[in-house]
Amino acid sequence: MPDASTVNRAFIGRQWAPAEPYQVGREKIREFAVAIGEDAAVCHDLAAARAAGHPDLVAPPTFTVTFTMPLLEAFLRDPDFGWDYRRMVHADQSIVAHRPIHGGDELVTSIHVEDLRSRAGSRLLTLRCEVVDTAGVPVATSRSLLVTRETGG
Amino acid sequence: MTAVGDELPPLELRVTRADLVRYAGASGDFNPIHWSDRIARSVDLPGVIAHGMLTMALAGRLVTGWVGDPAAVRSYGVRFTRPVVVPDDDLGALVEITGRVADIRQPDPDGVRIAKIDITARSAGRTVLGRACAEVTLPS
């Protein structure tokens, strides 16, 4: 069985091939806005969004989670990574919007392991998601700090 | 004119189990600690807790509501300091959100002004988000 610290180091700096483009649905924006109680007209009313200069509905700032989290989950459930997903705690989250996300956008996300360390029986993992459009132009950068128990510890 | 030190209009929101189910569907986060007491307790939680990203989104409404435009948010970051425990009743958990203008940057060459907002979120008398901060473009 590999030493945990060796496994840890091996993953730092790794990145995963970008996923298939995700198409941002107009109704998904509405559904997400309702779920968080965001009632801004540009998230619900196409005419209002266009009047404000947007090509389509505007996604709320944390909308990126809807397409980045499933990718992170698939990565974290990879048995090779040895992550205790059941006891995972989301410790920290940041999102930088390089531009607003709109209905109809086709977005490509890549996952990067920025840091992975052990401290007092816990493993601390920083994952970065770079979200770009299909031309490669940056749309959003998000960082998640995730914490779980040291496996076998 | 917005000035450093301005307080944003506070928000008091109730989060119920129904809200968690709706958010699970909308976000795709079906982790059972957000809907099953049995599983939440099996990992040493007091019961079902709100999705951290839901708490973050709710606190973000303080800023989008104040600035009047979700597209004005340039960055937003939080630390999840304590979980929001959501009881299985009709009232749910109360989340109190406040914020203040911590800084306003000098206008860029296009005259765009960006404000930094420090946000506080509390539930059951305790802070649930730490170092919560958003940067927003102010209306010209």
pLDDT in tens, A13-53: 777 777 789 999 999 999 999 999 999 999 999 999 999 99
Q: How confident is the model at residue A153 (pLDDT cuts 50, 70, 90)?
A: very low
Q: Which of A90, A128, A141, A147 to mutate to test the interface with B (most CBs of B within 10 A)?
A: A90
For position A15, what pLDDT does the model report? Answer: 77
> Residue B132 has which token pair?
């919560």
**Rounded Cα–Cα distance for residues B112 and A4 (Å):** 48
> Residue A133 has which token pair?
């459009």
Beta carbon pairs, A and B, within 8 Å? 102
Tens digit of pLDDT at every position of chain B (140 positions): 899 999 999 999 999 999 999 999 999 999 999 999 999 999 999 999 999 999 999 999 999 999 999 999 999 999 999 999 999 999 999 999 999 999 999 888 888 999 999 999 999 999 999 999 999 999 87
3 state SS of B94:
strand
Taking all residues of chain A, what is their mean pLDDT, rounded to a whole number?
90
Tell me the nearest-neighbour CA distance from A28 into chain B, angstroms: 7
* Residue of higher predicted confidence among A105 and B111: A105
* pLDDT reading at A3 higher than 50: no
**Rounded Cα–Cα distance for residues B75 and A62 (Å):** 10
Q: Which of B66, B75, B117 to mutate to test the interface with A (most CBs of A within 10 A)?
A: B75
Residue from the list B28, B29, B80 with its beta carbon closest to the beta carbon of A91:
B80
Residues 121-140 of B with CB under 8 A from A: 134
**Rounded Cα–Cα distance for residues A67 and A24 (Å):** 9
For position B46, what pLDDT does the model report? Answer: 95
For position A152, what pLDDT does the model report? Answer: 53
Please list the alpha-helical segments (H only) found in chain B. 17-27, 37-42, 52-67
DSSP strand pairing (B93-104 vs B114-123):
antiparallel
A62 chain-B contacts, CB cut-off 8 A: 53, 56-57, 60, 76
Residue from the list A31, A52, A58 with its beta carbon closest to the beta carbon of B26:
A31
Q: Which of A43, A65, A67 to mutate to test the interface with B (most CBs of B within 10 A)?
A: A65
For position A85, what pLDDT does the model report? Answer: 83
Q: How confident is the model at residue A88 (pLDDT cuts 50, 70, 90)?
A: confident
A115 Cβ neighbours under 8 A, 6+ residues apart: A12, A124, A125, A126
A107 pairs with which residues across the strands? A22, A133
Q: How confident is the model at residue A2 (pLDDT cuts 50, 70, 90)?
A: very low
B60 chain-A contacts, CB cut-off 8 A: 36, 60-62
Complex ipTM value: 0.96
- Find where tokens 């860029």 sit: B108
Which of A49-63, A64-78, A137-151: highest mean pLDDT? A49-63
Residues 66-95 of B with CB under 8 A from A: 68-71, 73-80
For position A6, what pLDDT does the model report? Answer: 47
pLDDT tens profile A70-82 = 889 888 888 888 8
Say yes or no: A87 contacts chain B, CB-CB below 8 A: yes
For position A11, what pLDDT does the model report? Answer: 78
Say yes or no: B36 contacts chain A, CB-CB below 8 A: no
